Structure 1
């Protein structure tokens, strides 16, 4: 699977100056479109959660050219999310919210090519996280 690394890097650079605001908007978008996931965050420190989201996005973008590093990190992240109550059905909601947020922040720079780059990236991220979640779940059921 090949991702458009240049477009992902360039578009992420454009939102970085407003990263904190971007993360807050992501959760606003997620909860507005999918209120069913809000209870998962009932005990969550949202300021810390926003920082974790940004750290994850930075990790992804900075390691796009190092797939082996990225694969391991995303599988670990997926395994961690099992413990938070995340189920596979939550992933499309997160993908939708991330795309909506990028669209809001990139505005005229949210071209069909950039959108496709992020759709592809989120698909790859989800697949690896879900692989990690399955591995973790399999370990717990042994």
Structure 2
């Protein structure tokens, strides 16, 4: 039986998410992508932020595996212009930082895995972005 994108992503995330350095390196990469993004995190408790990221990525993965979008819609509200004001174009930088960090930490990562990640979590990211 062939793995679906959501299976590939679930397994890939499992290989990465138990290493706290994965989340540290993700944020280093993401904040390094833009001075505006870096400024968003100036007064942030990064330990707590990494915990939120761990959960947020899992929500994207679970949505790709068929879970309801309730938590993603709530993320969209909190990240909207009336919340944290996370501009829609920043999600591409976020995704690029995620893929680059997955390459670094998942020993089985390939171009096919990268494609599976992009396809699997794109609908969830769009739910979050669309709340802007």
TM-score (ref. length: structure 2): 0.86
Aligned to 2:129: 130
What does 1:96-135 correspond to in 2, within 5 Å?
A: 96-107=96-107, 109-131=108-130, 133-134=131-132
Q: Corresponding residue for 1:56?
A: 56
Whole-Å Cα distance in 2 between the matches of residues 116 and 66 of structure 1? 19
Cα separation, partners in 2 of 1:123 and 1:59, compared to 1, 3 Å: closer
Secondary structure of 1:86's aligned partner: coil
How far apart are residue 63 of structure 1 and its match? 4.3
Count how many residue pairs are aligned between Structure 1 and Structure 2: 127
Gaps (5+ residues) in structure 2? none
Larger radius of gyration: 1
Q: Which moves more between the two structures, 24-33 or 55-64?
A: 55-64
Question: How far is 1:57 from its partner?
Answer: 1.7
Task: State the Cα RMSD in Å.
Answer: 1.7
Q: Cα distance, 1:124 vs. partner? A: 1.7
CA distance in 2, matches of 1:100, 1:35: 19
Residue 64 of structure 2 contacts residue 121 of structure 2 at CA under 8 Å; is this kept in 1? no
**TM-score normalised according to structure 1 size:** 0.80
1:19-64 alpha-carbon deviations (Å, 9 max, x no partner): x211111100112222321111122111100010001122333443
